[in-house]
């Protein structure tokens, strides 16, 4: 049995990769086991967190303190149970792990490294589009489309908020590579999703399963150009020029 994780950050294409991999007959791939909400892919494997409220920001902060002993003593047994519960046809079993989870649970990372867990590192190099995607999700509350590409209504982007997102994401992308440098890994880029079949065959080879033709199960949300989505696109163009992000114009 091969164990793996998809190691990434939000709005990098991990949901479509997770659900598509799960469609392979030899692979079981779950979503974020340690997400604060039970609304994950394969919710039967959601880690049971102690939560007072998902609505109050103050109570969510208290939840993190409350859950420290819960996670510290039960997270690794939960992962072990997950990896050891393979079905008869499964050769590979994995789940999605966000870099934020790794930061809050370094002991879990030590466990994964010690057990030679394979890592699919998923990075979205275009931090501008990632930042826009995060802000769009916050605005529309719609992360993905199951059918054809959907063009949403235009929205206004707060320039300073976008800039902070971009600067943060640049650091995160480097961290994803640094943390996995000494682990068995394959590095995928969201920008390569256009060559979907070739990319997926590389993943299947890395996981040592048979090749399959599996189309992406979700579609991108948004217009063909970011300017189609943003009402104040001229203001954002100015922001990019002033902060040496001309490559995203």
Question: Quick check: helix, strand or coil at residue 4?
Answer: strand
| Predicted pLDDT of residue 248 | 93
| C-alpha R_g of the chain | 19
Alpha helices in the chain (DSSP H): 14-21, 57-83, 99-104, 106-114, 127-140, 159-179, 196-207, 233-242
| Predicted pLDDT of residue 208 | 97
Q: What is the C-alpha to C-alpha distance for residues 233 and 120, in angstroms, rounded to an integer?
A: 34
Binned at pLDDT 50, 70 and 90, residue 148 comes out as: very low
Dump pLDDT digits (tens) for 109-146. Answer: 999 999 999 999 999 999 999 999 889 887 765 555 55
Q: What is the pTM of this model?
A: 0.89
Residue extents of the structural domains in the chain: 2-248
- The dihedral of CA 23, 27, 33, 38: what is its sign? positive
CATH C-level class of 2-248: alpha beta
Q: What is the C-alpha to C-alpha distance for residues 128 and 123, in angstroms, rounded to an integer?
A: 13
| Predicted pLDDT of residue 158 | 94
């Amino acid at each position: 049995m091969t164990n793996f994780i998809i190691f990434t950050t939000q709005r990098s294409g991990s949901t479509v990769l997770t659900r598509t991999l799960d469609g392979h007959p030899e692979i079981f791939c779950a979503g974020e086991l340690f997400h604060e909400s039970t609304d994950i892919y394969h919710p039967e494997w959601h880690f049971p967190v102690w939560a007072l409220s998902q609505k109050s920001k103050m109570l969510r902060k208290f939840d993190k303190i409350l859950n420290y002993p819960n996670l510290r003593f039960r997270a690794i047994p939960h992962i072990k149970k997950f990896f050891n519960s393979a079905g008869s046809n499964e050769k590979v079993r994995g789940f999605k792990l966000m870099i934020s989870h790794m930061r809050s649970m370094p002991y879990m990372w030590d466990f994964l490294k010690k057990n030679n867990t394979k890592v699919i590192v998923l990075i979205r190099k275009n931090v501008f589009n990632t930042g826009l995607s995060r802000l769009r999700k916050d605005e529309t509350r719609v992360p993905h489309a199951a059918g054809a590409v959907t063009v949403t209504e235009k929205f206004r982007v707060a320039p300073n908020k976008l800039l902070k997102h971009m600067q943060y994401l640049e650091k995160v992308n480097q961290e994803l590579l640094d943390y996995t440098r000494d682990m068995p890994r394959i590095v995928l880029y969201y920008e390569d999703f256009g060559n979907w079949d070739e990319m997926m065959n590389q993943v299947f080879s890395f996981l040592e399963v048979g090749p399959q033709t599996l189309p992406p199960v979700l579609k991108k949300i948004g217009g063909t150009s970011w300017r189609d989505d943003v009402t104040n696109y001229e203001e954002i163009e100015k922001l990019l020029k002033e902060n040496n992000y001309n490559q995203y114009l």
